Amino acid sequence: MSESRAFCPRCGDTVPERSASDATDESAADPLRPGAEVDLCDACYFEDFDFVDAPDRIDVRVCATCGAVYRGNRWVDVGAEDYTDIAIEEVSEALSVHVDVEDVAWQVEPEQIDPNTIRMHCYFTGVVRGTPVEEQVMVPVKMARQTCTRCGRISGDYYASIVQIRAEDRTPTSEETERAKEIANQIVADMEATGDRNAFVTEVGEVDDGLNIKVSTNKIGKKISNKMVEEFGGTVTDAETLVTEDSDGNEVYRVTFAVRLPPYPPGDVIDLADDDEGPVLVRSARGNLKGVRLTTGERYEASYEEGDSPDARKLGEADDAVEATVVTVEDDNAVQVLDPESYRAKTIARPDYFDPEAETVPVLKSRAGLHVLPDETDE
């Protein structure tokens, strides 16, 4: 080790030997002050020492509707409960402490001066060069209540895209429209959760032939319509409409996504035009229509060409089924039940899902006659 002695470069006092690790820490810890007082004596060091760096005041632009705060050049959701929360958050962002200080602790006492002004009394403690240090600062936080871009758009009924939920040759079921609303809200919530402030549902409106959902971006419209088709089948087409020009003269388009749900949703009982093998209970309308024959229990699937809309007429819905008393099982293909309307015994087809032990079975009476339905409660 060197025998040379250290002197304070400012006052010339001798500086006590410090451990190698201390010296390394300090020279490495202060990159912002070139030629820093690594070797200053304590007296000179503390003369210049500034524990806390605080602004004279903090101006906060806060959205009066949603509580978002303007930072940098954009609105940010800070998840604050009230203005005091926001003030604490902003003060934490704005204050800085000297890098040499260890074991820094601080507390803050907000003092509400008027509805838009909060004085933040901050108390700091820490240790530097083995010496405890403390400091108090007061920073006034001024709140300016404004309207953020999103809230402005929502209140202005802004939308970029419409999703039209319709169905082929029928109106969408309440299950389908309720699900569409759920999907829309879920997609927006997921996007919000990733910090996307531009995602919102502007309006959900029932119309005679379905549902219209206005949303803030084309991306959301596309996601909703794709998800609907994924779950229910059918098709989606999109069309752009020129609505206006923005302030820079760019053309602004609005996209309409027209979802057409298939004509026969699951639960429909249909009679196919080109066969006489009996009614089909629709199980799925995604891709090709799929279902089960009510006469035999055999699986039915429409051809590729027919897709989700084979030539058929609707006889009823599984929900229309009523319980009928089983009189006797005649053979593998026939069963006798009491007609739920006339209470007369009737021999009808016995599908393979028929439970020979059952005392009653769900039946559907339609133009095509009486048919046993699968007992969905068993599945």
How far apart, in whole angstroms, are the C-alpha atoms of residue 262 and residue 169? 9
Our finding on whether 146 is near Zn ion (CB under 5 A) is no
* Element housing 254 (H / E): strand 251-261
Q: Say how many residues touch Zn ion, by CB under 5 A.
A: 12
Positions in 266-285 near Zn ion (CB under 5 A): none
Helix axes 174-193, 218-232, angle to 10 degrees: 140
- Min. distance of Cβ 59 from Zn ion in angstroms? 18
CB nearer to Zn ion: give 151 or 337. Answer: 151
Residue 94 to residue 327: CA distance in whole angstroms: 83
Q: Which of 118, 112, 111 is nearest to 60 (CA)?
A: 118
Among 41, 91, 321, 364, binds Zn ion (CB under 5 A): 41
Distant-in-sequence contacts of 340-343, Cβ < 8 A, 24+ apart: 340/365, 341/365
Q: Are strands 69-71 and 74-76 parallel, antiparallel or unpaired?
A: antiparallel
Least CB distance to Zn ion at residue 194 (A): 18
Distance in angstroms (rounded) separating the CA atoms of residues 254 and 239: 8
Write the DSSP string, 26-66: HHHH-TTSTT-GGG--HHHHHHH---EE--S-EEEEEETTT
Stretch that binds Zn ion, among 41-49, 110-118, 159-167, 320-328 (CB under 5 A): 41-49
Q: Is 44 in the site for Zn ion (CB under 5 A)?
A: yes
Task: Report the residue from 60, 133, 141, 148 that binds Zn ion according to the rule CB under 5 A.
Answer: 148
Provide, rounded to whole angstroms, the least separation between the CB of residue 110 and Zn ion.
Answer: 23
Residues 55-84 binding Zn ion (CB under 5 A) are 63, 65-66, 68
**CA atoms of 122 and 137, how far apart (whole Å):** 5
For residue 219, the minimal CB distance to Zn ion (Å) is 21
Site membership for Zn ion, residue 335 (CB under 5 A): no
For 258, the enclosing helix (H) or strand (E) is strand 251-261
* Contact string 158-197 vs Zn ion (x = CB under 5 A): ----------------------------------------
Range in contact with Zn ion (rule: CB under 5 A) among 11-19, 181-189, 263-271, 335-343 = 11-19
Contacts of 233 (CB under 8 A, 6+ apart): 261, 262, 284, 285, 286, 287, 308
Residue 71 CB, nearest approach to Zn ion (Å): 14
Q: Which stretch binds Zn ion (CB under 5 A): 44-52, 93-101, 187-195, 334-342?
A: 44-52
Query: Segment contacting Zn ion (CB under 5 A): 6-14, 24-32, 191-199, 218-226?
Result: 6-14
Task: Please identify which residue in 38, 86, 133, 151 interacts with Zn ion, judged by CB under 5 A.
Answer: 151
- The residue to which tokens 């004596």 are assigned: 41
Residue with Cβ nearer Zn ion (12 or 249): 12
Comparison of 23 and 66: residue with beta carbon closer to Zn ion: 66
Tokens at 92, concatenated? 């934490």
Q: What does the alpha-carbon distance between residue 169 and residue 275 come to, in Å, rounded to a whole number?
A: 21
Q: Which stretch binds Zn ion (CB under 5 A): 141-149, 162-170, 187-195, 247-255?
A: 141-149
Under the binding rule (CB under 5 A), the answer on residue 10 touching Zn ion is yes
Least Å distance, CB 229 to Zn ion, is 33
Q: How far is the CB of 174 from Zn ion (least distance, A)?
A: 33
Closest listed residue to residue 293, CA positions, set 308, 304, 283, 305: 283
E-state strands within 115-197: 117-128, 131-146, 161-167
Question: Which residues are at the interface with Zn ion (CB under 5 A)?
Answer: 8, 10-11, 13, 41, 44, 63, 65-66, 68, 148, 151
